[in-house]
Amino acid sequence: LVPDFQDLMPESFGSVNESDLNDLVSYLKTLK
């Protein structure tokens, strides 16, 4: 992951679910 990424969402990785991951992947794809 990008070094700053956990600073943006410090709590998300403690309680991430599959739909959140799918949304995250979709979001990251828009950045390319």
Q: What is the pLDDT of residues 10-32, one digit of tens each?
A: 565 555 667 778 888 898 899 87
pLDDT of 11: 61
Quote the pTM value: 0.41
Residue 29 in tokens: 């794809």
Q: What's the structural domain count of the chain?
A: 1
The residue type at 2: V
Residue 5 scores a pLDDT above 80 = no
* 9 CA to centre of own chain: 7
Residue 2 in tokens: 């990008």
Residue 31 in tokens: 């950045």
19: domain range? 1-32
What is the distance between the alpha carbons of residues 8 and 14, in angstroms, rounded to a whole number? Answer: 14
Three-class SS state of 6: helix
